[in-house]
Amino acid sequence: GLTPEQAHEVLLRDGLNALSPPKRTPEWVKFSKNLFGGFALLLWIGAILCFIAYSIQASSFDEAPDDNLYLGIVLATVVIVTGCFSYYQEAKSSKIMDSFKNMIPQYATVIRNGQKYTIPAEEVVMGEVVEVKGGDRIPADIRVIQAHGFKVDNSSLTGESEPQSRSPECTNDNPLETKNVAFFSTNCVEGTGRGIVICTGDRTVMGRIANLASGLEMGDTPIAKEITHFIHIITGVAVFLGVSFFIIAFALGYHWLDAVIFLIGIIVANVPEGLLATVTVCLTLTAKRMASKNCLVKNLEAVETLGSTSTICSDKTGTLTQNRMTVSHLWFDNQIVDADTTEEQTGVSFDKSSLVWKALSRVACFCSRAEFLPGQDHIPVMKRECTGDASESAILKCMELAVGNVP
């Protein structure tokens, strides 16, 4: 392996073995968008017009009415409060999402100067010799140089549910197809392997996919488009009516200042002052209800988008499924028996007095390489994490529930 000095030099040259986070919008931009974007802009215009009307009245009359002043203050207060509330909701969700990233730090076993060291996965460098065993996550793209029953779970990368064997032999010119390359972020489900790091961070296959995904432009949400369209309609109607009443008032002999007051009053009257607060409160209540169902909403407008979605295009494994199998049926005594597939084991049980069942359960318990990870005694069996491939893990859980204390 490399010496610590060589590893340090490569680390300084290539940087940490981590995916570059996507560009984040500055906080002041997020706050400004909530405060001045969309429908809030129309309310700000209404508030400014109210202050202008009050200023005209105050300069023209000794005892000017305070109605426009109070209305302007109310409109500005509504916009500021709802804007701050929306920003707080987004910042709270983003903080929760960021905390997930640091919840479980990843480590890797490397060989340096002939000695094994356990280091943070971010410090793995190109040319490093790494060692992985069942249950470990592959810390970088590696070329396998030694393997003993080494199999990896590529479901997060390719969607293949079956474990893929890895060996030192090159079986294909395409690095994505050959068996002597294991990819960053995939998991070793069984066996042991040793390999040389060939790519780290953004240069890995997963890193290149992440960069492609992060480069996609985000369009406006349906509710943002609807609000923009609504603002255009309201603005057009308000300006048309305001100008019409201004012309009528001027034609009827009113002073031009009074006509301007009419103009401003008609425009402000057409602004639905309570709509912004109503929409924000409704979306927030929906987001809280979804949070109680373990669904975290990062953007309030996304709540309405999800409700109007007709088709969702998604990769299956890791998003819609967990690459986790469950035993649903057993065959013994020349008949098919239904197994309980519920996580809380609230379904029906079956007769376990048969001699054939005892033989079947004995074989299923002993002929398995799957194991429960330690420290999970307080967790329901169906929710426990296992080492080994998905099918053997499913059989292990089934036997643990049916027999108990599987060795």
Cα 373 from Cα 14, distance rounded (Å): 34
In order of 50, 134, 148, 201, the CA distances from 145 in angstroms are 76, 17, 11, 21
Phi-psi region of 74 (alpha: psi -120 to 50; beta: other; left: phi over 0): alpha
Instruction: Write the DSSP symbol of residue 312.
Output: -
Q: Catalytic annotation on 377?
A: no
Q: Please tell me the total number of residues recorded for the chain in this structure.
A: 407
| SS3 assignment, position 198 | strand
The distance of Cα 287 from the centroid of its chain, to the nearest Å, equals 15
Please report how many Cα atoms fall inside a 13 Å half-sphere around the Cα of residue 220, on the Cβ side: 10
AA letter at 249: A
In order of 151, 252, 363, 364, the CA distances from 367 in angstroms are 18, 98, 6, 6
Contact 310, 347 (CB under 8 A): no
Cα 406 from Cα 399, distance rounded (Å): 7
CB atoms within 10 A of CB 370: 21
Catalytic-labelled residue, pool 98, 220, 315, 338: 315
In order of 21, 276, 400, the CA distances from 283 in angstroms are 28, 11, 44
Count helices and strands in the chain by DSSP H and E runs: 12, 11
Which residues are annotated as catalytic? 315
